[in-house]
Structure 1
Amino acid sequence: MRIMRAEQFKLSREVEYGTPEQNESVRQTVEALRTRGDEALLELTERYDGVRLSAAQLRVGEEEIQAAYSRVEPDFLEALRLAAANIRAYHERQKRQSWMDVQPDGTMLGQVIRPLKRVGVYVPGGKAAYPSSVLMNVIPAQVAGVPEIVMVTPPATGGKPGIDPYILVAAAEAGVREMYRIGGAQAVAALAYGTATIPPVDKITGPGNIYVALAKRAVYGAVDIDSLAGPSEIAVLADETADPAYVAADLLSQAEHDEMASSLLITPSAALAEAVAAEVERQLPLLPRAAIARESIDRHGAVLLVDSLQAGVDVVNRLAPEHLEIMTADPMGLLGSIENAGAIFLGPYSSEPVGDYFAGPNHIIPTNGTARFSSPVNVDDFVKKSSLISYSREALLRDGAHIMTMARHEGLEGHARAIEARLDKEAAAGAAGHENTEGKRA
């Protein structure tokens, strides 16, 4: 693992844009699904997944879901249920309520919060199957109150229509009953525009490969999306007190995701840098996905030397990593200085997989430096907000002239006259009332 000064390092993020060929392929796929629906979906599933299906086979049946339970181990099911309970409890704390504020003059302002009606969840199924991603997408949507949640995931490799049983069980445990055996850009387009078999959704969430990311970008506007997820990232900010074996293991936990993943150690300790680099070389060959991890470490991994922990914090804030681990003598002492990070793990026992699988916070986290302005998937991603405005007569009489002034400053006379019509009528009514009062007195 290369060791260098932090100022010499630049993390390449160009992958998020895709190549011209990838973009054109996705454009053609999206257009085919938009115009030809199921026909195109079946053709592309056969082309890219090697599975020939009929429209009737797209949806996963209840028997297949139940049969999946017999193919998973009891300890997996127990762990899945415990993780789901933790995830649900964490996201329940994120719920917000509608509110109204009534003023003494009778004006009422507020906000109505409603769940989205229908959400599509994309679950990867290529190089690896991720049942944990099912929980992280579905549970926040359920907590938000989304009534219709649909899952899409590619058929298992090998030319057969089956889906990984662990994904099916995770979806069933999370409460999903509408599932389709489709993947890639064609699945994203099908969710966005709908087909004869698959009704369209309001939002698409979930990570995928570059084709999935580009397809989400292409359909954004027709539907909402969670984010454009890039390769996984981890940055470990550590001092001389950190255990090199722990640091190396955590760096490799991200490197094994895919060849484009980024694993960085940021430290002022040259001794720790050398020890971690050596430990990575010792541990890496022992991984079943060693070839993937090796390419990731060689291409996008590094140990970055800094002059101080504060200088390390500055590097972290510049990188805005997806995952940040702080392994120092006083992790909490640095927390207040961290401005940009998707998820922050404090101390030697808060290994990144704790958050990936079990603790409760969402593991769908902003990548590619977007933690500068965005957040992990949460309950707010599955609701929409409407503003409430009920102005009283008294308030309009008080504020009407100001509103007209602003409208006319922007050249929108119609806006001003909409207010003026009310003010004139109220003024006329007031004058008439005054005349009637004077007449009665006379």
Structure 2
Amino acid sequence: MDIIEELTWRGAINQQTDAEGLKELLNEKSVGLYCGADPTGDSLHIGHLIPFMMMKRFELAGHRPHILIGGATGSIGDPSGRKSERQLQTMEVVKHNVKCLTEQMQKLFGDSAQVTFVNNYDWLSKISLLDFLRDYGKFVNVNTMLAKDIVASRLETGISYTEFTYQILQSIDFLTLYREKDIQLQIGGGDQWGNITAGIDLIHRIEGSDVKVYGLTIPLMLKADGTKFGKSAGGAVWLDPKKTSPYEFYQFWINQDDRDVIKYLKYFTFLTKEEIAELEEEVAKRPEKRLAQRRLAEEVTRFVHGETALLSAQKITEKLFSGEIRDLSADEIAEAFDKMPHTEISSEATNIVDFLVNNGFESSKRQAREDIKNGAITINGERRRELDIIIDPNEAFDGKFVVIRRGKKKYFLAVVK
């Protein structure tokens, strides 16, 4: 399969400006392409990951990806998909976010000589107002801009001139990269179609209508139940391990619905058609084993966070499932229970019944005694059946935590003050 055939099989193509022309170009030579991300925050989330997985596939196919971080456009705000104006960020915040996103992207793409990182602040910040109006604005038709979905959707509620001009700035990006980096293809989400086609129009008006430049967008990702992909119960799933730990990240993928997992394997992994077909058969015949989900979680966690973080996430998962948490470090306990509600406790040693009741882990002493005698209470991975034992918060996990489990699945975290 060539790259377009592979992307089509993976269900990763939504729209193309000229499908036949692009396919022919990609089969002729190594093509320069780009995808951009505005630094509206200091981390990308997994919804942003989809187009950059596409860029990685193009790299593996021998093409030349350019990752654009919008230091200039990020200070303006893309109106795409929004019903109101964005809150402008200070340039200090924008610069900080640019640094964070660049580091994230460099981690994803490694030290590949095929991948180039650019920041549109480097050229957009040098354009004067007069140059903007004379050299670019003269070639952009306002009627065409108003017809773009991203603008038309805002006309009733109102749109500022600042956000209205966003598509011109992004068009200048495509023109600049075409001239300076021989970029002929822009990739983006479905909501970027208007911006991408505006860039192609500008290039054709200035450089000539026969210039070979193309646009390609990816489909909107929806789950089988029709809801938007990319969030967990705790909110967005971030690529920054400080915002979403590798363990939480791994758990997000391993808990995917059987109806979605094959689609996600095609989108988010580099497994072959044959490997995915085998996993699809496993889902059909032995769904309870969740082999496809485990492989999905393994592949995506390794790609985003690396092998060491993957092994740690797998270890935490295994130990929590088996209840053998004594083998976990204090840092691993902190990661595993990061988003779980916790109770602060004193460092004083206490009788187990009093410990459970006074800290709210049991509703009454009678219930606590019953659960202890029935073997339902585990403290720091050790089942406790005696009513007279003393719980010392300092004896495990560097004296930072006490982990209580009631039954097979109900965990509680106590943080030692």
TM-score normalized with structure 1 length: 0.23
Structure having the higher Rg: 1
Q: Using CA pairs under 8 Å that are at least 6 residues apart, name the structure with larger relative contact order, 1 or 2.
A: 1
